Amino acid sequence: MPFFYYDSYYLILVVPAMLIAAFAQFKVQSTFKKFASVMSRQGRTAADVTRQILNENGLSHIAIERVSGNLTDHFDPRSNVIRLSDSVYGSTSVASIGVAAHEAGHAVQHATGYTPIRLRNAVLPVANLGSTLAMPAILLGLIMSFEPLVTTGILLFSALVLFQLVTLPVEFNASRRALVTLKEKHILDESELTGSKKVLSAAAMTYVAATLVSAMQLLRLVLISNNRRRD
């Protein structure tokens, strides 16, 4: 069976998912830019808000650092550091405060043993292996017509997709925690929360889109493998 036949799966399954992912990335960037110009009435920086949320959850030991880039914010559980990007750290915008509170939500998840976090950590080693070895194993298996190697590669890639699936509730929960905290602690009022919610919702859709791309890629690989068996 000619290789261009296999590529038809890529065009039908993967390319549409990639277009959705590209739109999701555009949406989060444009939404953040829009609400980055809306300053909170209290005038507190994202870093200050993050410090408050951490302290009130007994996480005063977690440091807050500034990191270069735009929307490169993340929580590093290995070093107990929340890193806020240049566009977020010192900003008083409702967009930046929402993003920072989201990262604080991740810190709280780790501290409280949030179940999806534990599951994601359990899958992570195999997912890392899959991201490195899955495609080479599948390609080599197809070239050699060695089905066990193809199956191994697909299983490794499946672990990567599973990791992304488990990441979804982690991200949605962190956003929910952020919005609840910002409201209950009166850090943002109702109108300001609307902006933060839109930014976090757009960010969450990038994870959904990335998972869709991987899932469609997995389906493509399974279809290619099945066609080879029939041949």
- Catalytic residue numbers read 103
Looking at the DSSP bridge assignments, the partners of residue 63 are 81
CB 153 within 8 A of CB 103: no
SS3 state of residue 74: strand
Question: How far apart are alpha carbons 71 and 178 in whole angstroms?
Answer: 16
Residue 108 CB burial class (10 angstroms; 0-12, 13-18, ≥19): buried
- The residues near 174 (Cβ < 8 Å, ≥ 6 apart) are 102, 103, 105, 106, 109
Q: Hunting for tokens 């990441």 — which residue is that?
A: 167
Residue type, 119: L
SS3 state of residue 64: strand
